[in-house]
């Protein structure tokens, strides 16, 4: 069996009409379905991951291995097809392949028990078979869209002069206090070193000579690069050891965190709006087949929602004004709001779905009590320069802030929050040596892809989800 062919094409290029009818072509992929006509012709739908649609391969009984191989093909078998690209007479696609040779590369052991049979499977069932689920319509489409979103993020930021910085995954500090942490260690659990005459663990004997954890955010470290390179971002995995079994939480997820020097809250709000619109525009322009699938089978608003966001500028709203608006309709909400409340998803959705009728809302200047230590104190001494971008359907999709660049103000906050300044010596240094106003935001990558596709459970976005009690594969 030779793997090489001079006429090899991806199915996407054939269906896109990039090859002339009549030409010899070779495709390599997996059978999704087989249908046999009484006249001794088999119709195979073959996919290779390159686009949503499979291509139809027409195999006649004249093929030398028709009886022996073709009639035994089932969902999941891998084949190499040599044939002629022809116009399709049936409805649906414009092109199909008239097979001249079909080589079966791999059959399916016991097709009756193959987990990805052509019938409909629930997403819950597919999660149990995460190693095979990219072969399905839905997870294949998610995979193409998540790649499109990720590539769009890199291209947009690279084209705009941002540098991608690899901030550390293993860290010695829980600076954000953003939740429970995973410990990283090489200590022998059956023989833990103790500090002399105590029961306390002696982490000086651990791999890094101290207690270390998985990072919750690369922001603090990327600020150091921002204050030298001007425009930077992180795009990497972050971790939360929260025992949350919801459709929105993962223990391991990727975040994008741009950071700009000489910038204020407004600058990063503009950047976030432009970035989101660029992503949505790219997805709609590039993957309309996959998006149409989501509209038909997952969320009929999937395309409209993105289109609507593209059509109008985001609405800016002060937190205080948002609260006034929400207080008037407090009886709608499970959690009643007042000034000082953190906004829940129900409030966020009301603002962007009802108040602005589907336009995203940038809520700004939150009470300092509900935001992190690093956000810049406003003149009122009550609010900080933080912003969240809210979108219909899910609420917050972006969280950002102008950072506190004044050392005296930062120290006040650290003291008030009883955060140990010693660990943050280097972060404080950044405020001592040519400090500048700077600002940034974070986007959870999987939630963003969930938003784009309409797929409700984040466990169906990431290939092999990590959640409480699950670390299979």
Site for a second copy in 386-415 (CB under 8 A): 405
Cα separation, 411 vs 373, whole angstroms: 9
Residue span binding a second copy (CB under 8 A) among the ranges 64-72, 263-271, 288-296, 308-316: 263-271
Nearer to a second copy, 44 or 309 (CB): 44
Contact (Cβ atoms closer than 8 angstroms) between residue 211 and residue 203: yes
Using CB under 8 A, pick the residue from 177, 209, 313, 340 that binds a second copy: 209
Which residues contact residue 171 at a Cβ distance below 8 angstroms, ignoring those fewer than 6 apart? 212, 213, 214, 215
CB atoms within 10 A of CB 130: 18
Choices 187-195, 308-316, 341-349, 381-389; region in contact with a second copy by CB under 8 A = 187-195
Q: Which of residues 229-258 bind a second copy (CB under 8 A)?
A: 229-231, 236-237, 239, 241, 243, 251-252, 254
| Residue 180 CA, distance from chain mean position | 22
Residues in the chain: 473
- Beta strands at 383-391 and 395-402: parallel, antiparallel or unpaired: antiparallel
**Shortest Å distance, C-beta 18 to a second copy:** 13
Tokens of 291: 């998006």
Residue with Cβ nearer a second copy (262 or 339) = 262
User: Does residue 192 interact with a second copy by CB under 8 A?
Assistant: yes
Site for a second copy in 77-116 (CB under 8 A): 77-78, 80, 105-109, 114, 116
Q: Name the 3-class secondary structure at 198.
A: coil
C-alpha 39: how far from its chain's center?
A: 48
Size of the site for a second copy (CB under 8 A): 110
Indicate whether 212 belongs to the interface with a second copy (CB under 8 A): yes
Check binding of 48 to a second copy (CB under 8 A). yes
Structure tokens belonging to residue 229: 């390179």
DSSP designation for 403: B
Regarding 319 and contact with a second copy (CB under 8 A), the answer is no
Q: Which is nearer to a second copy, 103 or 315 (CB)?
A: 103
Least separation, in Å, of the C-beta of 302 and a second copy?
20
Which of 130, 275, 317, 385 is close enough to bind a second copy by CB under 8 A?
A: 130
C-beta of 468: minimal distance to a second copy in Å? 6
Q: In the complex, what is the shortest distance from the CB of residue 100 to a second copy, in angstroms, rounded to a whole number?
A: 18
Longest CA–CA span in the chain (Å) reads 87
Helix (H) or strand (E) run with residue 148 in it:
helix 137-159
* Interaction between residue 263 and a second copy (CB under 8 A): yes
Nearest to 289 by CA among 151, 137, 87: 137
Give the pair of three-digit tokens for residue 218: 């690369």
Give the nearer residue to a second copy in terms of CB position, either 140 or 360.
Answer: 140
Q: How far is the CB of 42 from a second copy (least distance, A)?
A: 17
Q: For residue 347, give both structure tokens.
A: 């409030």
* CB 397, min distance to a second copy, A: 19
Among 342, 399, 349, 344, CA closest to 367: 342
Q: Binding a second copy by CB under 8 A: which of 14, 25, 28, 258?
A: 28
Q: Does 466 bind a second copy (CB under 8 A)?
A: yes
Name the strand (E) or helix (H) holding 390: strand 383-391
**For residue 420, what are its two tokens?**
């140990």
Alpha helices in 8-101 (DSSP H): 11-15
Report residue 379 CA to chain centroid gap. 36
Shortest Å distance, C-beta 211 to a second copy: 9
**Per-residue string for binding with a second copy, 154-173, x by CB under 8 A?**
xx--x--x-xxxxxxxxxx-
- Please, what is the minimum distance in Å from the beta carbon of residue 131 to a second copy? 4
**β-strand partners of 84:** 24, 98
Residue 457 binds a second copy (CB under 8 A): no
Contact pick of 29, 393, 400, 442 for a second copy (by CB under 8 A): 29
Distance of CA 361 to the CA centre of its chain: 21
Going by C-beta distance under 8 Å and a sequence separation of 6 or more, which residues neighbour residue 335? 341, 344, 346, 347
Query: Mapping DSSP to helix (H, G, I), strand (E, B) and coil, where does residue 315 land?
Result: strand
Nearest CB to a second copy, comparing residues 180 and 369: 180
Q: Which is nearer to a second copy, 188 or 334 (CB)?
A: 188
Instruction: Closer to a second copy by CB, 151 or 247: give it.
Output: 151
Selected from 16, 21, 94, 228, the binder of a second copy by CB under 8 A is 228
Nearer of residues 162 and 350 to a second copy, judged by Cβ: 162
Task: Tell me phi and psi for residue 61, to 5 degrees.
Answer: -65, -10
Strands 55-60 and 95-106: parallel
Q: How far is the CB of 246 from a second copy (least distance, A)?
A: 16
């Amino acid at each position: 069996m030779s793997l090489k062919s001079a006429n090899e094409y991806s199915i996407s290029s054939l269906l896109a009409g990039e090859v002339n009818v009549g030409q010899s072509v070779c495709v390599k992929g997996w059978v999704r379905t087989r249908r046999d006509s009484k006249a001794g012709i088999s119709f195979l739908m073959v996919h290779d991951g390159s686009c949503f649609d499979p291509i139809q391969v027409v195999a006649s009984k004249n093929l030398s291995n028709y009886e022996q191989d073709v009639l035994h093909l089932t969902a999941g078998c891998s084949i190499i097809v040599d044939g002629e690209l022809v116009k399709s007479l049936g409805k649906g696609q414009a092109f199909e392949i008239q097979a001249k040779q079909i080589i079966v590369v791999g059959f399916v052991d016991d097709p009756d028990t193959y987990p990805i049979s052509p019938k409909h499977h629930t997403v819950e069932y597919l999660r149990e078979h995460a190693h095979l689920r990219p072969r399905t319509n839905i997870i294949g489409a998610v995979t193409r869209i998540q790649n499109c979103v990720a590539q769009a993020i890199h291209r947009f930021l690279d084209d705009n002069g941002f540098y991608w910085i690899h901030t550390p995954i293993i860290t010695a500090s829980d600076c954000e206090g953003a939740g429970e942490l995973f410990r990283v260690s090489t200590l022998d659990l059956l023989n833990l070193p103790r500090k002399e005459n105590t029961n306390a663990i002696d982490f000086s004997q651990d791999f890094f000579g101290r207690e270390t954890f998985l990072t919750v955010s690369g922001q603090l470290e990327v600020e150091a690069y921002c204050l030298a390179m001007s425009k930077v971002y992180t795009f990497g995995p972050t971790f939360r050891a929260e025992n949350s079994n919801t459709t929105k939480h993962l223990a391991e997820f990727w975040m994008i965190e741009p950071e700009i020097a000489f910038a204020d809250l407004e600058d990063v709000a503009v950047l976030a709006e432009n970035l989101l619109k660029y992503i949505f525009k790219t997805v709609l322009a590039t993957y309309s087949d996959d998006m149409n699938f989501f509209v038909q089978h997952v969320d009929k608003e999937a395309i409209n929602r993105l289109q609507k966001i593209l059509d109008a500028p985001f609405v800016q709203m002060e937190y205080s004004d948002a609260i006034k608006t929400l207080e008037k309709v407090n009886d709608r909400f499970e959690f009643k709001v007042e000034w000082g409340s953190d906004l829940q998803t129900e409030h966020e959705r009301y603002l962007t779905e009802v108040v602005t009728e589907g336009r995203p809302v940038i809520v700004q200047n939150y009470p300092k009590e509900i935001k992190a230590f690093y956000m810049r104190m406003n003149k009122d001494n009550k609010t900080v320069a933080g912003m969240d971008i809210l979108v219909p359907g899910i609420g917050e999709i972006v969280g950002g802030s102008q950072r506190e660049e004044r050392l005296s103000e930062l120290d006040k906050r650290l003291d008030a929050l009883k955060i140990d300044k010693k660990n943050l010596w280097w972060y404080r240094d950044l405020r001592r040596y040519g400090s500048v106003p700077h600002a940034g935001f974070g986007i959870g990558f999987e939630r963003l892809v969930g938003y784009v596709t309409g797929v409700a459970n984040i466990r169906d976005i990431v290939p092999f989800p990590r959640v409480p009690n699950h670390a299979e594969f």
